[in-house]
């Protein structure tokens, strides 16, 4: 069905939910047929079965219709073991993975995306340049914060730099939260990410971050429409544009404090 619409020139997304159950069913059939088992009793050709399925995704040239087919396979892990046979097979086939952590979900951090285990092998080539400019080091710094937060639980005395890193990381975590069915435009995302990475939220209590972020997104969209247009067209942000966003965000924070 997906290929039919792709050949009509449409951009199609197909979600496989889930390939773990698919592999288990294939393993049971293979064992009943007395095929030789391999790792975790899966037959040796389970990788071929999945790769043949997922690699039908493509982007057609204009002379062939210009349609595209994107595959989003879902894989369940046992005890959060990403290194199991089926997850590693799928990861090696795809262009990246989004790992949803049960621990983050239980803490109420939604969407429960584990930044450290989620990677993209094509992100830098496909995303807008403004993302790399604003959040280029965000993933690394946030992962360092999570590690530091674990060790900080065992210590009551923290130096000033460590304390600032932890406070900044907690605010980044709040900004990364998103309500269900409420997608954000690119300019809104950039406004929030730039504000938190530039320290606009540092002096604001964590419980007020959500409301302040909402106000900043609205302010940037309404007061700086030319910058929003620049972001949506895929152009790079100059230093003056970044400064304007930070200043608009700072004005909102001053109002929130008062």
* Percentage of the chain exceeding pLDDT 90: 71
Task: Please check whether residue 245 is in contact with residue 213, taking contact to mean a CB–CB distance below 8 angstroms.
Answer: no
Helix, strand or coil for residue 4? Answer: helix
Q: From the candidates 35, 52, 121, 214, which is the catalytic residue?
A: 121
Please list, residue by residue across 70-92, b when 16 or more beta carbons sit within 10 angstroms of its beta carbon and e when fewer do.
ebebebeeeeeeeebbbbebbbe
- Summarize pLDDT for 167-225 with one digit per residue, the tens: 999 999 999 999 999 999 999 999 999 999 999 999 999 999 999 999 999 999 999 99
List Cα–Cα distances, 114 to 97, 102, 142, 211, in angstroms. Answer: 10, 9, 10, 24
Residue 99 Cα to chain centre, angstroms: 9
> Would you call 61 a catalytic residue per the annotation?
no
Q: What is the distance between the alpha carbons of residues 53 and 75, in angstroms, rounded to a whole number?
A: 14
The torsion defined by the Cα of 238, 243, 248 and 250, in degrees rounded to 10, comes to 150
- Summarize pLDDT for 225-239 with one digit per residue, the tens: 999 999 988 888 899
Q: Partners of 37 in the beta sheet?
A: 43
Question: What is the model's pTM?
Answer: 0.86
Could you tell me the pLDDT band of residue 258, with boundaries at 50, 70 and 90? low
- Summarize pLDDT for 66-123 with one digit per residue, the tens: 999 999 999 999 989 999 999 999 999 999 999 999 999 998 999 999 988 898 888 7
What are the structure tokens assigned to 89, written together?
Answer: 């097979």
Beta pairing, strands 68-74 & 11-17: parallel
Could you tell me the pLDDT band of residue 134, with boundaries at 50, 70 and 90? confident
């Amino acid at each position: 069905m997906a290929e039919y619409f792709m050949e009509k020139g449409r951009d199609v997304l197909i979600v496989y939910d889930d390939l773990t159950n698919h592999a288990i069913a294939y393993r049971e059939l293979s064992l009943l047929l007395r095929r030789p088992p391999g790792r975790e009793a899966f037959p040796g050709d389970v990788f071929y079965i999945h790769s043949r399925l997922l690699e039908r995704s493509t982007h057609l040239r204009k002379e062939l219709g210009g349609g595209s087919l994107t595959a989003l396979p879902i894989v369940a892990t046992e005890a959060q073991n990403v290194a199991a046979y089926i997850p590693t097979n799928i990861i090696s086939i795809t262009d990246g993975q989004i790992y949803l952590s049960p621990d983050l979900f239980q803490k109420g951090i939604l969407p429960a995306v584990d930044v450290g285990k989620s990677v993209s092998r094509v992100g830098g080539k496909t995303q807008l340049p403004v993302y790399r400019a604003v959040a280029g080091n965000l993933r690394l710094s946030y992962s360092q914060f999570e590690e530091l937060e674990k060790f900080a639980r065992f210590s009551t005395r923290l130096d000033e730099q460590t304390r600032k890193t932890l406070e900044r990381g907690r605010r980044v975590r709040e900004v990364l939260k998103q309500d269900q069915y409420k997608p954000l435009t690119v300019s809104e995302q950039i406004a929030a990410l730039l504000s938190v990475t530039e320290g606009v939220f540092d002096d604001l209590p964590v419980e007020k971050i959500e409301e302040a972020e909402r106000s900043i997104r609205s302010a940037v969209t309404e007061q700086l429409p030319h910058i929003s247009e620049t972001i949506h067209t895929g152009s790079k942000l100059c230093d003056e544009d970044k400064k304007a966003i930070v200043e608009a965000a700072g004005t909102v924070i001053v109002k929130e404090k008062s």
